[in-house]
Every structure is written in structure tokens, then in C-alpha cells.
């Protein structure tokens, strides 16, 4: 978790700098690009984590990959490379997006279900999230058949587990203690 804390600090610093230079939206688009690129490329993740590849090589590769980004985003790559934290780039980008969304009243709600959600259920979940938090949310549905039925809803640090697997585990614990 130390890496996550460091990523949050870097993300906050980048957001503050972007605010000063009136480039918050532009940097947000850059961070979305970085986040998606890093998360979708297993090879890039391996290079960033590799202790064998030198920081300068990583920096040069990233600046080539992200040549079209704003100067603030490019400088972030340089600072992370200089501080031997280049492996945090994807997490810094993800944290920036989270901070940006929080500032604009948006959040990510992750719903884990045994089967894919229908459009009607998605709308209902989004409405319930808005009721509970007062904020709009982007919904991400994860299908996990092991929960058997029901759902698990995660919004930030909050989690509501209404899965059948959880209820079965509760019953199992109750019977095993008696």
C-alpha cells in the first residue's frame, strides 16, 4: 500500500499543478490515456516493474509512447523516472482520474454479479448510488459466478455484500459455532 500512498501524493501534486496552469481537463485526458495504456499492455507493465531495465530507458520509451501529452504529463514521467518511481505511473494516472472525478461529483461504483446486469438494473443501481452518496457514478459490472447470486456493490471505501455466497458463509459460521 505504500506505492498507493505515493501514487496519491504524486496525483495530488499533478492536479495542483494542472489547476495552476489551467490544464486540468487536458491532463485528465492524458491520465486516462496513460491509465488505459498501462493497464492494457502486459509488456509495458513488465518493463515498468523490471529492475533490469534502466530508468532512463523506461523514461525514453514512455516519452516516445506518450509523445502527444501535455508538458505536465510529460514532466510527471521525468520526475517519476528521476525518483526511481516510474513503476507507479499507471497508479498515479488512476489516482489522478479518481481525484478529478471526485472534484466533479463523479465516482466509480463497482457491482459484482453472477450474471451481467441488464440496462434496467444498471439504471436502478446508478439511481441507488446517487441516493446513497448524492453523487453521480460510473458503473462497472464485474461478472463472478462464484457469488452464486445477488450482488456486491463497492463505492470508494464502502462495500455492501448482498451475495448468496456471503449469506451461505454467514450461515456456515453460525452453525459451526453452535
Q: What is the pLDDT of residue 159?
A: 87
Strands 151-155 and 106-113: antiparallel
Q: What is the pLDDT of residue 162?
A: 86
Helix (H), strand (E) at residue 106:
strand 106-113
Instruction: Please give the grid coordinates belonging to residue 59.
Output: 523514461
Q: Which domains does the chain have, with CATH numbers?
A: 2-102 (1.10.520.20), 106-177 (no CATH)
Instruction: Please give the grid coordinates belonging to residue 52.
Output: 533490469
Q: How confident is the model at residue 2 (pLDDT cuts 50, 70, 90)?
A: low
Query: What average pLDDT does the chain have?
Result: 91
Q: What is the pLDDT of residue 136?
A: 83
Q: What is the pLDDT of residue 178?
A: 59
Indicate the pTM of the whole model. Answer: 0.70
Q: Taking residues 113-119, what's their average pLDDT? A: 92
Is 21 a residue whose pLDDT tops 80?
yes
What per-residue string of b and e applies to 92-112 under the rule 16 or more CB within 10 Å gives b? bbbbbbbbbbeeeeebebbbb
pLDDT digits (tens, 9 = 90+) for 62-113: 999 999 999 999 999 999 999 999 999 999 999 999 899 888 888 888 999 9
Amino acid at each position: 500500500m505504500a506505492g498507493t500512498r505515493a501514487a496519491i501524493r504524486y496525483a495530488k501534486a499533478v492536479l495542483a499543478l494542472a489547476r495552476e496552469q489551467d490544464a486540468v481537463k487536458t491532463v485528465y485526458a492524458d491520465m486516462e490515456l496513460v491509465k488505459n495504456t498501462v493497464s492494457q499492455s502486459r509488456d509495458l507493465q513488465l518493463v515498468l516493474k523490471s529492475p533490469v531495465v534502466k530508468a532512463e530507458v523506461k523514461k525514453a520509451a514512455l516519452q516516445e509512447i506518450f509523445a502527444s501529452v501535455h508538458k505536465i504529463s510529460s514532466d510527471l514521467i521525468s520526475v517519476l523516472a528521476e525518483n526511481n518511481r516510474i513503476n507507479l505511473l499507471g497508479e498515479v494516472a488512476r489516482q489522478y482520474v479518481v481525484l478529478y472525478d471526485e472534484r466533479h461529483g463523479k465516482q466509480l461504483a463497482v457491482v459484482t454479479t453472477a450474471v451481467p446486469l441488464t440496462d434496467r438494473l444498471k439504471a436502478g443501481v446508478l439511481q441507488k448510488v446517487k441516493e446513497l452518496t448524492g453523487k453521480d457514478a460510473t458503473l462497472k459490472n464485474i461478472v463472478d459466478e462464484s457469488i452464486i447470486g445477488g450482488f456486491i456493490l463497492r463505492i470508494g471505501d464502502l462495500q455492501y455484500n448482498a451475495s448468496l455466497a456471503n449469506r451461505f458463509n454467514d450461515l456456515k459460521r453460525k452453525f459451526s459455532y453452535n
